[in-house]
Amino acid sequence: MLLDAVQIQKILPHRFPFLFLDRVIAATPGESIVAQKLVSMSDPILQGHFPDNPILPGVVQIEAMAQAAVVLANLSGLFDPELHNCYFIGIQEAKFRAPVVPGEVLTIEVKALRLGRLGKFAGEVRSGDQVKSSGTFTAIIEPKIKPARPSDTPA
């Protein structure tokens, strides 16, 4: 394992219940990353989606791919959580092929198609050999703007 959940939280601003990566198992900086999410019945989103037939929403799978892309940008030296925000700005060609249910271990693989301030990525979510979802998406890295302190404002 390359990164555990605690190490991932040092890179991503997301926290439970919106952190969708449990570990990073492989990465090639500048190229690709492989992460995992363990789907549990105790995940809050599954309590209402759907109560009698719990499935992980497709948008959560896409968000997990986007979170993996931010970790890849960090490992590639392009994103520093102290200095930058990374915003998900577009989804292209998203496909949802099979439901994700509690008990599955998702493998999230993301490949960089373009890295830089504006990045483009291709991702796939699998459980075992079955592809659950895939898509391409874009993100932008922006410098953090520090809020002005009261003593910095003119009187």
Chain position carrying tokens 């979802």: 133
Whether the CB-CB separation of 55 and 45 falls below 8 Å is answered with no
Identify whether 49 is a catalytic site residue.
Answer: yes
Burial classification of residue 82, based on how many CB atoms lie within 10 Å of its CB (0-12 exposed, 13-18 middle, 19 or more buried): exposed
112 alpha-carbon distance from chain centroid: 13
The arrangement of strands across the sheet holding 23-28 comes to 23-28, 32-38, 105-114, 118-127, 130-143, 84-96
Catalytic residue, chosen from 49, 55, 57, 111, is: 49
Pick the closest to residue 110 from 93, 95, 123, 94 (CA basis). 123
Handedness of CA 136, 67, 102, 56 (dihedral sign): negative
List, by residue number, the catalytic residues: 49
